Amino acid sequence: MIRTIIVDDSRVAQEFIAHLLSSDPDIQIIGIANSGEEAIRLITEFRPDVVTMDIHMPGLDGYEATRIIMETVPTPIVIVSASAGVTHAINSFRLFEAGALAVVLRPPSMDDPGFAGARKTLVQTVKLMSEIKVVKRFPNQLKERIPLPVFSAAEPSSSLDIKLIAIGASTGGPLVLKTILSGLPKNLPVPVLIVQHISKGFVKGFVDWLSDSSAIPLHLAQNGDFLIPGHGYIAPDDYQMGVSPGIKISLKKSQPENGLCPSVDYLFRSVAEVAGPGAIGVLLSGMGRDGARELKTMKTKGAFTIVQDEASCVVFGMPGEAVKIGAADKILSPGRIVEKLSELCKNNHAAQ
């Protein structure tokens, strides 16, 4: 049984979430908290396998409660948001900074056409996140120092002629993406394409949250847009994102791959076909194996491939699968990924 505690200051929401989760035979509700303070007390006492967390609560809100839980009794936390609007989404992603693992939208009423799908997403996310072994976070923990690279024609440069960078991520990816994008140079001479597995409805807020600290402008990808050097493009909901000849974005309503749309495999395969040795592929923290096979395809086509190291991953699933099949040229921490991307792109800058 997956022992679960629900945290929400609304009695109606508590009962609704409890009903949805307890309808699955593998989930047991062992406690319900009305506030952040009560959540900390119950989690300390009962040590659940997973927690669903509300954002806005009187007194200790979801952010502070999550931060304290991860510093004292680290527990997998799933944010259950009442809305996927931009403001709610940005607030949800702030909880990732405190240590939460995933965000899902609270399912609508049972007579809503989207109820069945939303309920399935909630239940599956709670079950999957309960399997993750989280570690204690320390107050004011020092982050890995990331150098601020500056391109110079006088510096030694890579012999690669890079046209674009493709990045794939899932569970644990948002915070790593934030670290990488904030560390890239503002004059990055190539575009960046990103597929992040995330619950439907949250991608616009995700782009805005990342944009607050990103060194390069970020956009929600649009079909047919030319890729601009020094800009980042994030795949939207329900579309497979690839690259078409002429280095333009291609969005298609295609079947899910590895059960996912957008899929990292789809992006990496497209990049391998169009850019070949002129691409860099980066696979970050995530469950499952999406991206691993086609990262190997990128490598075979001459691209430079990087995976996040196990020590810094929340889940080493996707990167680990890539390592197993020999898909990675380098296995690096987030800070070292920034350094390597900057180094590999120096040649482009010197040629401009």
Structural domains present in the chain:
2-129 (3.40.50.2300), 164-351 (3.40.50.180)
User: What three-state secondary structure class fits 61?
Assistant: coil
Catalytic residue among 170, 263, 285, 342: 170
| Residue 349 to residues 129, 158, 180, 229, Cα–Cα distance (Å) | 42, 11, 19, 11
Q: Terminal CA-to-CA distance of the chain, rounded, Å?
A: 59
DSSP calls for 120-139: HHHHHHHHHHTT-------T
What confidence score (pLDDT) does residue 308 get? 97
268 pLDDT higher than 60: yes
Calculate mean pLDDT across residues 302-331.
Answer: 96
Catalytic annotation, pick one of 9, 61, 290, 309: 290
97: nearest Cα among 9, 212, 253, 16: 212
Active site residue 197: yes
- The phi-psi region of residue 34 (left if phi > 0; otherwise alpha if psi is between -120 and 50; otherwise beta) is alpha
Has residue 120 got a pLDDT over 60? yes
Would residue 24 show up in a list of annotated catalytic residues for this protein?
Answer: no
What mean pLDDT comes out for the span 67-95? 89
| Model pTM score | 0.90
Tell whether the model's pLDDT for residue 159 goes beyond 80.
no
pLDDT of 146 > 70? The answer is no
Q: What is the pLDDT of residue 137?
A: 65
The reported pLDDT for the residue numbered 348 is 63
Q: Is 170 a catalytic residue?
A: yes
Distance CA 233, CA 211 (A): 11
* 243: amino acid identity, one letter: V
Q: What percent of the chain has pLDDT over 70?
A: 91
More confident residue, 243 or 201: 243
168 contacts 198 by C-beta, under 8 angstroms: no
Q: Biggest alpha carbon distance in the chain?
A: 65
9-43 pLDDT per residue, tens: 999 999 999 999 999 999 999 999 999 999 999 99
pLDDT at 238 over 80: yes
Gap between the Cα atoms of 337 and 77, Å rounded: 27
Q: CB burial class (10 A; 0-12, 13-18, 19+) of residue 211? A: middle
Asked if 155 contacts 339 with a C-beta cutoff of 8 angstroms, the reply is no
Residue 264 pLDDT > 60: yes
Q: Per the structure block, which two tokens stand in for 44?
A: 């300390």
Tell me which residue has tokens 């007194």.
59
CA distance 349 to 352: 5
What is the DSSP-derived secondary structure letter of residue 226? B
Instruction: Report the chain's mean pLDDT, rounded to a whole number.
Output: 91
Find the catalytic residue in 197, 263, 265, 349.
Answer: 197
